[in-house]
Amino acid sequence: MTDFYLIAHKVRGEPAFDIAERMVCPICSGEGCAECDDAGYWWIIPTSGHRAYAYWWLDMNQVLYTSNRSPSPIWLLPFNFNPPDDHPDHYPLRHTPAAPRVDILSLLPRAAPGPTIRRRL
Protein backbone atom coordinates (compact mmCIF):
# COMPACT_ATOMS: atom_id res chain seq x y z
CA MET A 1 0.00 0.00 0.00
CA THR A 2 1.18 3.51 -0.77
CA ASP A 3 2.01 5.83 2.10
CA PHE A 4 0.50 9.29 1.77
CA TYR A 5 1.83 12.48 3.31
CA LEU A 6 0.43 15.90 4.08
CA ILE A 7 2.98 18.26 2.51
CA ALA A 8 3.53 21.98 2.34
CA HIS A 9 4.90 23.22 -0.96
CA LYS A 10 5.00 26.40 -3.01
CA VAL A 11 2.32 26.93 -5.69
CA ARG A 12 2.52 30.13 -7.76
CA GLY A 13 4.64 31.78 -5.10
CA GLU A 14 2.28 30.98 -2.21
CA PRO A 15 2.43 28.20 0.41
CA ALA A 16 -0.07 25.37 -0.15
CA PHE A 17 -0.96 22.07 1.50
CA ASP A 18 -1.51 18.92 -0.51
CA ILE A 19 -1.59 15.14 -0.23
CA ALA A 20 1.44 13.49 -1.85
CA GLU A 21 3.29 10.22 -2.09
CA ARG A 22 6.96 9.41 -2.43
CA MET A 23 8.36 8.00 -5.64
CA VAL A 24 11.88 6.64 -6.08
CA CYS A 25 13.95 9.13 -8.06
CA PRO A 26 14.07 7.81 -11.65
CA ILE A 27 17.43 9.43 -12.30
CA CYS A 28 19.46 7.94 -9.46
CA SER A 29 17.20 4.99 -8.49
CA GLY A 30 17.18 6.07 -4.86
CA GLU A 31 20.94 6.57 -4.54
CA GLY A 32 20.74 10.36 -4.20
CA CYS A 33 21.52 12.96 -6.85
CA ALA A 34 21.22 16.71 -7.44
CA GLU A 35 17.76 16.31 -9.01
CA CYS A 36 16.29 14.80 -5.83
CA ASP A 37 18.51 16.83 -3.45
CA ASP A 38 20.23 13.59 -2.34
CA ALA A 39 16.96 12.35 -0.79
CA GLY A 40 16.51 9.47 -3.25
CA TYR A 41 12.84 10.23 -3.86
CA TRP A 42 10.44 12.74 -5.44
CA TRP A 43 7.11 13.96 -4.11
CA ILE A 44 4.22 13.20 -6.50
CA ILE A 45 0.66 14.55 -6.24
CA PRO A 46 -1.37 11.38 -6.97
CA THR A 47 -4.50 13.14 -8.28
CA SER A 48 -2.62 15.02 -11.01
CA GLY A 49 0.63 13.06 -11.35
CA HIS A 50 2.66 16.27 -11.04
CA ARG A 51 5.87 16.54 -9.11
CA ALA A 52 5.82 18.71 -5.98
CA TYR A 53 8.75 20.23 -4.09
CA ALA A 54 7.82 19.78 -0.43
CA TYR A 55 9.57 21.81 2.24
CA TRP A 56 7.51 20.28 5.08
CA TRP A 57 5.67 16.95 5.39
CA LEU A 58 3.79 14.79 7.86
CA ASP A 59 2.87 11.11 7.46
CA MET A 60 -0.91 10.78 6.98
CA ASN A 61 -0.95 7.71 9.25
CA GLN A 62 0.27 9.97 12.03
CA VAL A 63 -2.36 12.58 11.17
CA LEU A 64 -5.20 10.07 11.07
CA TYR A 65 -4.08 8.28 14.23
CA THR A 66 -3.74 11.44 16.30
CA SER A 67 -6.81 13.29 14.96
CA ASN A 68 -9.06 11.58 17.56
CA ARG A 69 -6.75 12.44 20.43
CA SER A 70 -6.83 15.64 22.43
CA PRO A 71 -4.97 17.90 21.78
CA SER A 72 -4.33 16.90 18.19
CA PRO A 73 -0.88 17.73 16.78
CA ILE A 74 -2.64 18.98 13.63
CA TRP A 75 -4.04 21.89 15.61
CA LEU A 76 -0.59 22.61 17.01
CA LEU A 77 0.88 23.20 13.55
CA PRO A 78 2.30 26.70 13.12
CA PHE A 79 0.17 28.93 10.92
CA ASN A 80 3.16 30.61 9.27
CA PHE A 81 4.33 28.14 6.62
CA ASN A 82 6.26 30.54 4.43
CA PRO A 83 8.51 28.63 2.03
CA PRO A 84 12.13 29.61 1.57
CA ASP A 85 12.62 32.22 -1.16
CA ASP A 86 14.83 29.96 -3.27
CA HIS A 87 12.51 26.93 -3.00
CA PRO A 88 11.27 25.53 -6.38
CA ASP A 89 7.67 26.22 -7.30
CA HIS A 90 5.04 23.63 -8.32
CA TYR A 91 3.66 26.05 -10.94
CA PRO A 92 6.23 28.83 -11.47
CA LEU A 93 4.95 32.32 -12.20
CA ARG A 94 5.63 33.83 -15.60
CA HIS A 95 7.28 37.19 -15.15
CA THR A 96 8.14 37.61 -18.81
CA PRO A 97 5.61 38.15 -21.58
CA ALA A 98 4.96 35.33 -23.96
CA ALA A 99 7.15 35.24 -27.04
CA PRO A 100 5.49 36.68 -30.12
CA ARG A 101 4.03 34.00 -32.34
CA VAL A 102 5.09 33.81 -35.95
CA ASP A 103 2.54 33.03 -38.63
CA ILE A 104 4.22 30.31 -40.67
CA LEU A 105 2.15 31.08 -43.77
CA SER A 106 3.47 34.64 -43.79
CA LEU A 107 7.00 33.26 -44.27
CA LEU A 108 6.10 31.50 -47.54
CA PRO A 109 6.65 33.45 -50.76
CA ARG A 110 3.44 34.74 -52.24
CA ALA A 111 2.61 33.76 -55.78
CA ALA A 112 2.10 36.54 -58.30
CA PRO A 113 -1.60 37.15 -58.96
CA GLY A 114 -2.77 35.29 -62.06
CA PRO A 115 -4.96 36.57 -64.87
CA THR A 116 -8.55 37.35 -64.00
CA ILE A 117 -11.05 35.16 -65.79
CA ARG A 118 -14.36 36.85 -66.49
CA ARG A 119 -17.34 34.57 -66.63
CA ARG A 120 -20.83 35.16 -67.87
CA LEU A 121 -23.79 34.25 -65.79
| pLDDT tens per residue, range 26-76 | 888 888 888 888 888 989 999 888 888 888 888 887 766 555 555 555 555
Q: What residues does each domain of the chain span?
A: 4-76
Does the pTM surpass 0.85? The reply is no
What is the C-alpha separation between 98 and 24, in angstroms, rounded? 35
pLDDT value of residue 26: 86
Whether the link from the prior residue into 92 is cis, omega within 30° of 0, is no
At position 7, the amino acid (one-letter code) is I
> In the β-sheet with 4-11, what is the strand arrangement from edge to edge?
51-52, 41-44, 14-24, 4-11, 54-59
Residues 6 or more apart whose CB falls under 8 angstroms from that of 33 comprise 25, 27
| pLDDT tens per residue, range 12-38 | 878 888 899 999 988 888 888 888 888
